[in-house]
Amino acid sequence: MSHTGSGTVRPITVVGNPVLHHPCAPVEKFDEELATLIDDMFASMYAAEGVGLAANQIGVALRVFVYDCHDDDGVQHVGHVVNPVLAELPPDRRHLDDSAEGCLSVPGPHHELARPDYAVVTGFNLKGEPITVEGTGYFARCLQHESDHLNGQLYIDRLSKRQRKNVLAEMERMQAEKAAAAKTPATAE
């Protein structure tokens, strides 16, 4: 089941906001309020030009994420998972990919982060029906990244202290440049 396309764009929470740094609560009611949240999450993700979004990234501490993400074969995957559980992979399936990763809640910089190139998430759809989502490549990274969010972890929490510090400094520099550019009046030609 996909979203209705009628959601409201909500602001993205940014690193430092406590809702991003604590595990989210399980969804207990599969009702219209959940459907509205999922629609709002899709609208917010698309407005921010993201490929995945966890509920706590719009300030809601519930275990839900949405995605519209391609895999390495170019296949587009669109959906949501309620109360997701990321499966522990057997050692023979743990082939690491160290591609760059970014996050709407850490706006701007990207950094290489090794993650398995295959992921399986189980959970429920908005009707409360069990689902399993499997992903490879970039989509596997998305599933793992969004699952981390719901456990109160950002991708930068998986980096070394020095790498994390550099990413946060780069984020601040990029935000300052963006703010300065917004204040500079456009010149007429």
Q: What is the mean pLDDT of residues 82-102?
A: 91
Evaluate whether 8 touches 40 at the Cβ level (below 8 Å). yes
Residue of 64, 21, 71, 75 whose CA lies nearest to 41: 64
Determine the Cα–Cα distance for residues 26 and 63; give it in Å rounded to an integer.
5
Q: What is the mean pLDDT of residues 93-97?
A: 86
Is the pLDDT assigned to residue 1 strictly greater than 50? Answer: no
Count CB-CB contacts under 10 A for residue 93: 13
Active site residue 170: no
- DSSP-based three-state secondary structure for 159: coil
Would you state the pLDDT for residue 2?
46
Would you state the pLDDT for residue 187?
57
Would you state the pLDDT for residue 10?
98
Evaluate whether 64 touches 55 at the Cβ level (below 8 Å). yes
Determine the Cα–Cα distance for residues 121 and 186; give it in Å rounded to an integer.
48
Would you state the pLDDT for residue 130?
99
Q: Which residues pair with 66 in a beta bridge?
A: 53, 80
Would you state the pLDDT for residue 183?
84
Write out pLDDT tens, residues 33-43: 999 999 999 99
Residue-averaged pLDDT of the chain: 94
Would you state the pLDDT for residue 97?
93
Residue of 70, 116, 64, 125 whose CA lies nearest to 93: 116
Q: What is the mean pLDDT of residues 66-91?
A: 94
Q: What is the DSSP string of 5-71?
A: S-PPP-PPP-TT-GGGGSPPBPP---SHHHHHHHHHHHHHHHHTT-SEEEGGGGT--BSEEEEEEE-
Write out pLDDT tens, residues 116-135: 999 999 999 999 999 999 99
- 28, 88, 146, 177: which one is catalytic? 146
- DSSP-based three-state secondary structure for 168: helix
Amino acid identity of 63? R
Q: Which two tokens stand for residue 167?
A: 């990413």
pLDDT confidence bin for 189, thresholds 50/70/90: low
User: Could you give the domains of the chain?
Assistant: 18-183 (3.90.45.10)
Is the pLDDT assigned to residue 4 strictly greater than 70? Answer: no
- Top pLDDT among 94 and 16 is at 16
Q: Are strands 52-54 and 64-70 parallel, antiparallel or unpaired?
A: antiparallel
Is the pLDDT assigned to residue 91 strictly greater than 90? Answer: no
Looking up tokens 């170019």, which residue turns up? 74
Q: What is the mean pLDDT of residues 104-123?
A: 96
pLDDT confidence bin for 184, thresholds 50/70/90: confident
Evaluate whether 154 touches 167 at the Cβ level (below 8 Å). no
The strands making up 52-54's β-sheet, listed across from edge to edge, are 52-54, 64-70, 76-86, 118-124, 130-136
Write out pLDDT tens, residues 134-183: 999 999 999 999 999 999 999 999 999 999 999 999 999 999 998 898 88
